[in-house]
Structure 1
Amino acid sequence: MNTKSKKEQHKVDLRQVIIEAAKKLFSEDGYQATSIRRIAKAIGYSPTTIYLYFKDKNDIFYALHQAGFIMLRNRFLPLAVVEDPFERLKALGKNYIDFAVQNPEYYAVMFLMSEPFQYLENHCVDQDWPEGERVFEFLEGTIQECQGKGYFKDQAYEMVALQAWSSVHGLATLAITKHLLKIVDIKEMPVVPEQLLDAIFDVYVSFLEGKK
């Protein structure tokens, strides 16, 4: 590897180190406490070094946002081979929820925080949301194929996709913020905590099946 290649690789590596340090601090102490100074201290560099790679803290969190969407898309892409679109739709929903539960820090940055969008609006010329758009288009395509099989008749596929996303997003958000377990406990519902998400998801699937 020549000197230029080594420098480029070091730049890529250090950028990733900064992102990982920010994710760790965010998961432990929250967004407000995750300052540029604290990130720099965590990796053993000066704050000035951080600014060589990122414009501000929102830029770092936008990078986390992008990384999360890459992870989510990588979970979705293998589902493209599922021939039955309705089965694929169910698998998309289950994968989405599993991703949220397994990666709560990424999920929060992707869907629960406004800061990445502030960076998008302030620093990106076209202000598009390519990460979310790619994932949503995959869902839209699946809905359209479901309509070809008789599901969701006389309904705009975009609206059906939004409804499906909203449903699993709500379930995922309630799960990672512990609201689901709290209400089940208060109401003394006869549900085993480890089976709670699957039980609610099955109800959601039953609702979808009734739309044929």
Structure 2
Amino acid sequence: MLCIIWRVPRTASAAVRLLLVERAAELLARRDPVTLRALVEGTGASTMAVYTHFGGMPGLWRAVRQEGFTRLAARLDQVRPTSDPVHDLAALGAAYVDNALANPALYRAMYDTVADLDDPQAAAGAFGVLVSAAARAREQGRFAKGADPEDVATQMWAAGHGLTMLAITGVLPREALMVHAPAILTALFVAAGDDDDEERCRRSVQTGWLM
């Protein structure tokens, strides 16, 4: 007798997809081997779920990086512009750190993994928000006319990333961010200014950082 076994196609689940993305980021952060079995262990999903949702491991890593940048972009988007662009830059810096501390494994995976993004605009948009605020600071005379907004944004991102990674990995206590980050931003913004009042800059940074 011929026995025909019908296989019900597995359907994607947003909850399972997110669970696997966060699981992969956590394994990477702990430097544990990222295998199919390790990914699904304790999740209730089968190893086929990785193929169902991502098409394989390369797709999974793209999704991990994408999720990290998507969350960052969403957090930065919560910062509403004010009439003080230096305040806004500091508030964006604080939002960047806040997102990293809330999602430490995903934050590390954003930079630990080598994979293209399905939506590169998520990363470009996050950087663009900083550039836009720096451009407004130049237009309003808070930064020198010769200050390049992209340079300011790049320096700000690099300094913030380095300090944030030190806190996330435990090299520095997280409380140190509240001390050192505003000081670094103040120095960076004063350096970009044209005889800007340092105390005025410090006040803008402090009020922005504490938003």
Which TM-score tier does this pair reach, normalised by the shorter chain?
Answer: 0.7 to 0.9
Matching residue of 2:124: 133
| Equivalent of 2:181 in 201, 208, 212 | 201
1:12 to 7, 11, 14: 14
> Greater relative contact order: 1 or 2 (C-alpha under 8 angstroms, separation 6 or more)?
2
Aligned match of 1:83: 83
User: What residue in structure 1 maps to residue 153 of structure 2?
Assistant: 161
Q: Which SS does the other structure have where 1:69 is aligned?
A: helix
Change (3 A) 1:39 1:82: same
Q: 1:130 to 1:146 in 2, by over 3 A?
A: same
Which position in structure 1 is the counterpart of 2:66?
A: 66
Q: Which runs of 5+ in 2 are unaligned?
A: 1-9, 197-211
Amino acid at match of 2:168: I
- The aligned counterpart of 1:177 is 169
What amino acid does structure 1 have at the position aligned with 2:14?
V
- The equivalent of 1:188 in structure 2 is none
For residues 68 and 138 of structure 1, what CA distance do their matches in structure 2 show? 17
Other structure's SS at 2:72 match: helix
Q: How much does 1:26 deviate?
A: 4.0
Q: Supply the distance in 1 between the matched residues of 2:167 and 2:15 (Cα, whole angstroms).
A: 33
Paired residues in the alignment total 182
Question: Percent same amino acid among aligned pairs?
Answer: 27
TM-score (norm 1): 0.74
Distance 1:145 1:40, change over 3 A: same
- Alpha-carbon deviation of 1:55? 2.7
Relative to structure 1, is the Cα distance of residues 176 and 17 closer, same or farther in structure 2, using a 3 angstrom cutoff?
Answer: closer
Counterpart position of 2:3: none
SS of 1:81 mapped into structure 2 = coil
For residue 42 of structure 2, give the secondary structure of its aligned residue in structure 1.
Answer: helix
Q: Pick one of 127, 137, 143 that aligns with 1:146.
A: 137
Cα offset, 1:133, TM superposition: 0.3
Q: Which has the larger radius of gyration?
A: 2
Shift of 1:72: 1.5
In structure 2, relative to structure 1, the CA distance for the partners of 1:205 and 1:46 (3 Å cut) is closer
Counterpart of 2:162 in structure 1: which amino acid? G
Q: SS of the counterpart of 2:142?
A: coil
Q: Residue 206 of structure 1 aligns to which amino acid in structure 2?
A: T
**CA offsets per residue over residues 152-200 of structure 1, 9 Å max, x none?**
311222111111111111111111122234xxxxxxxxxxx73x21110
Go from structure 1 to structure 2 and tell me whether the alpha carbon gap of 1:170 and 1:49 turns closer, same or farther (over 3 Å shift).
Answer: closer
CA distance in 2, matches of 1:209, 1:144: 12
- What is the RMSD computed on CA atoms of the aligned residues? 2.5
1:92 aligns with 2:92: yes
CA distance in 2, matches of 1:103, 1:14: 18
- The structure whose residues are more often helix, as a share, is 1
